[in-house]
Amino acid sequence: MTLSIRPIDPVSRPFFAGVASGIDITRPLTPEEAAQIEKGMDQYGVLVFHGQRFTDETQMAYSRNFGELELATNNIKDNTGQRLGAHIADISNLDNNNQVLARENRRRLFSLGTRLWHSDSSFKVVPAKYSLLSARIIPSKGGNTEFADMRAAWDDLDEATKRECEGLVCEHSQLFSRALIGFEDFTAAERIEFAPVKQRLVRTHPSSGRKSLYLASHAGTIVGWPVPEARAFLRDLNEHATQRKYVYSHEWTQFDLVMWDNQATMHRARPFDAKEVRDMHRTTVAGLRSTMEQAA
């Protein structure tokens, strides 16, 4: 079978998300089919597959076509333990008994940080390649996911700002992003686990060779800069990179599978009625190297 991709939002410039069809991704893929999808990801950055009735096992099998899976270990735990398997990030508002989390639940409060613009696992030494999010149960309204094209945001910077960005190194940590929403309820062990890691502000995509800004709410400092100056500079870059012309907002339908390239995009979740169930299962394909290993 042959992959077909239809641009979702060709009115804005540039479009970088597409609806993919022509391949049944819930069954085992041939190497040629996996290569077609990876080529599509290099071109677009975000691909939407509708009507994919994944189980966790078939979602993991599909995701492994593109690399090794990350362990879903960098999540705040509550006293109910981990609801899903070791390779499935629980992007839901449910406890282990599949009941909606209480408003003051620690895991729920921590998860509100996903409403800030971020790139998955930028707080790890080797950040993520792809994220794949499967919509199992969605609320009646709200809960969209927005994506920003960090390649186009880089391309449109003026040359003086590009020169200033080149070679800069940021420190990323979930301690930074959660502080922005007032969450500081970390244990001593979690503060060690979430210790800042270094990432380049400008990264080069390993397949396409395109440059992009590597921004996230996790980025709290620029090495060698005073903190207030660094945060003001990063805020300006974030405001530039999340203009409407760079953003696609995905309105979920049940059984959508959306995969995105963390090496080229940034994303955030949008609010929904917290009394309704939103059950999303994410697999994350690990990257192969730190951004610090690329040439400055």
- Residue 72 — pLDDT band, cuts 50, 70, 90? confident
User: Does 296 map to a domain?
Assistant: no
User: Does 226 map to a domain?
Assistant: yes
- How far is the C-alpha of 260 from the C-alpha of 120, rounded, in Å? 10
Maximum Cα interatomic distance, the chain, rounded to a whole number of Å: 54
Q: What is the predicted pLDDT for the residue at 233?
A: 98
Number of folded domains that form the chain? 1
User: Does 246 map to a domain?
Assistant: yes
User: Does 295 map to a domain?
Assistant: no
Check: CB of residue 154 under 8 Å from CB of residue 266. no
Q: Which two tokens stand for residue 281?
A: 């299962």
Helix, strand or coil for residue 4?
strand
User: Does 210 map to a domain?
Assistant: yes
Give the mean pLDDT of 210-218: 97
Q: What is the predicted pLDDT for the residue at 275?
A: 96
Q: Report the sign of the C-alpha dihedral through residues 250, 253, 254, 256, in that order.
A: negative
Tens of pLDDT, residues 24-56 = 999 999 999 999 999 999 999 999 999 999 999
Starting from the edge strand earliest in sequence, which strands make up the sheet with 219-222, in order?
197-200, 169-172, 219-222
Tens of pLDDT, residues 274-292 = 999 999 999 999 999 999 9
**Rounded to an integer, what is the distance from CA 87 to the centroid of its chain?**
16
User: Does 126 map to a domain?
Assistant: yes
Check: CB of residue 242 under 8 Å from CB of residue 267. no
- How far is the C-alpha of 143 from the C-alpha of 268, rounded, in Å? 10
User: Does 172 map to a domain?
Assistant: yes
User: Does 221 map to a domain?
Assistant: yes
Tens of pLDDT, residues 163-184 = 999 999 999 999 999 999 999 9
Q: What is the predicted pLDDT for the residue at 118?
A: 98
> What CATH number does the domain containing 163 carry?
3.60.130.10
Domain enclosing residue 80, as ranges:
4-288
Q: What is the predicted pLDDT for the residue at 296?
A: 63
